[in-house]
Amino acid sequence: MAGALLCSGDCRIRNIPDLADIKSMAEVISAFGVPLKLEGDTLDINARHIATSKAPYELVTQLRASFFAIGSILARLGVAQMPLPGGCAIGARPVDLHVRGLQSMGAEVQIEHGICNAYVPGSNNRLKGAKIYLDFPSVGATETLMMAATLADGETIIDNAAREPEVVDLANFCNAMGAKIRGAGSSTITIEGVRELHSVDYPIIPDRIEAGTFLVAGAITRSEILLTSVAPDHLEPLIAKLREIGVPIIPEGNDCLRVLPAEKLMAADIETLPHPGFPTDMQAPFMSLLAMAEGDSLINETVFENRLRHASELNRLGADIRVKGNIAFVRGVPMFSGAPVLATDLRAAAALVIAGLAAEGQTTIQGLRHLDRGYDRLDLKLQQLGAKILRVGSEGEVASPPVSAHAEVSVSG
């Protein structure tokens, strides 16, 4: 959606999920004066005229990804004003890599009173190609700078770039509009700037984290599930770890995976790393799974420093997890017991839903606003698989997503 702001024509994006974050990003796009229309899983955006370079504080502080629009807006208008971003409270995610990269391309950037003010000096308002080295392979910084470089004057090289499939998909999207991006998916991305981009009709890739969540849900409940319309290549770190734990994963065709019941769940160690390592977004769901595996597991969270808060909530369900710093020591237990728990962030919410599926008795999970940010009707999809899961509002009535901050979901093992 941020990349569509680079194009001065019509952009159609397909396979759009029904997420709270999509709606929040749509509000940010609209605040720039750009018309858009979301119908079903298709989004139409026309950024021919961008009315303002200022993004509203109250929207950007709710959604970190909205900050990434600074690259597109700066490339199009030569000026951008973006509040510092918000999102899940999983640790510090500074924008210094974004800022230093934009400065390398000739932008003047100052951060004052929580606002990032950027402009391109000179008469033509065009960023200039540059060689950029990222201290960390940040997905957000890679994407922001790649988008900014598509309309820059000259060639930009991003070294130590993020290699995630989402970076590759964004590069493919921009190339479909006429950008000249090479090397996405490797640690070095080269972008040759062009004058303008043209209209596109583009289907986005499947969500590997949602797919991984369903694989873990099948594993923890000893169920057989067939996942369709997935990209198995994007799931290789997860599949390898599930097989190590003892869960059979069978490819069927080019875009289907079948998870089979494990004879026994075995302990395993996990260290989160940038792609192609084990994804930090799957750490919480895997913690639920390892908490019911035989033996002792160790989870080392190296990407975010505050992403183990779900451990205490899993302990409410009967897990045996000790946390020290960014390391969780997990001793497997034979059974969870249902209890009321609170989701502290997006992936923690999914982890608690998964744990509730395997718990004896009823588990009630509050904080669904986190879940709906990144999962498209997860409860309804689980219902279709036979799960006993029901979303209720603050007054106890059955609710449908999106929900208020006071809604909860009850899961019976």
Can you spell out the DSSP letters for 14-43? ES----HHHHHHHHHHHHTT--EEEETTEE
Residue 47 pLDDT exceeds 60: yes
Who wins on pLDDT, 393 or 302? 302
pLDDT at 193: 98
Is-contact 338 324, C-beta < 8 A? Answer: no
Instruction: Give the helix/strand (H/E) hosting 239.
Output: helix 236-245
Please report, for residues 59, 61, 65, 137, the alpha-carbon distance to residue 167 in angstroms, rounded to integers and kept in the order given.
Answer: 24, 23, 13, 11
- Contact status, residue 199 vs residue 11, Cβ threshold 8 Å: yes
**Contacts (Cβ under 8 Å, ≥6 apart) of 303:** 272, 273, 274, 280
CA 90 to chain centre: 13
Residue 88 falls in the annotated catalytic set: yes
With bands split at pLDDT 50, 70 and 90, how would you rate the model's confidence at 401?
low
User: What was the pLDDT predicted at 58?
Assistant: 82
**What is the pLDDT at residue 92?**
43
Share of the chain above pLDDT 90, in %: 82
Confidence (pLDDT) at 87 = 46
Q: How confident is the model at residue 114 (pLDDT cuts 50, 70, 90)?
A: confident
Q: Which of 7, 88, 116, 174 is catalytic?
A: 88
User: Across residues 208-214, what is the average pLDDT?
Assistant: 97
193 CB-side CA count, 13 A = 20
Please choose, from the candidates 48, 111, 121, 46, the residue with its C-alpha nearest in 3D space to the C-alpha of residue 78: 121
Average pLDDT over residues 339-365: 95
CA-to-CA distance for 76 and 4, rounded, in angstroms? 11
365 vs 405, which has greater pLDDT?
365
Please report the domains of the chain, with CATH numbers, ordered by start residue.
3-203 (3.65.10.10), 209-412 (3.65.10.10)
CB count in 10 Å sphere of residue 253: 8
- β-bridge mates for residue 412, sequence order: 362, 388
Q: Span 26-48, mean pLDDT?
A: 96
Say if residue 85's pLDDT is above 90. Answer: no
pLDDT in tens, 239-282: 999 999 999 999 999 999 999 999 999 999 999 999 999 999 99
Which token pair is 37?
């229309």
324 conformational bin, left if phi > 0, alpha if psi -120 to 50, beta if neither: beta
Output the pLDDT for position 400.
59
- Residue scoring higher pLDDT (227 or 86): 227
Q: Give the relative orientation of helices 283-290 and 208-220 as an angle to the nearest 10 degrees.
A: 10
Instruction: Tally Cβ neighbours within 10 Å of residue 40.
Output: 8
pLDDT, residue 159, reads 98
pLDDT tens for 299-323 read 999 987 777 989 999 999 999 999 9
pLDDT for 326 equals 94
**Do residues 35 and 224 make contact, with C-beta atoms less than 8 angstroms apart?**
no
Q: Is the pLDDT of residue 2 over 50?
A: yes
Mean pLDDT of the chain: 92
The pLDDT value recorded for residue 398 is: 58
Polymer length of the chain: 413
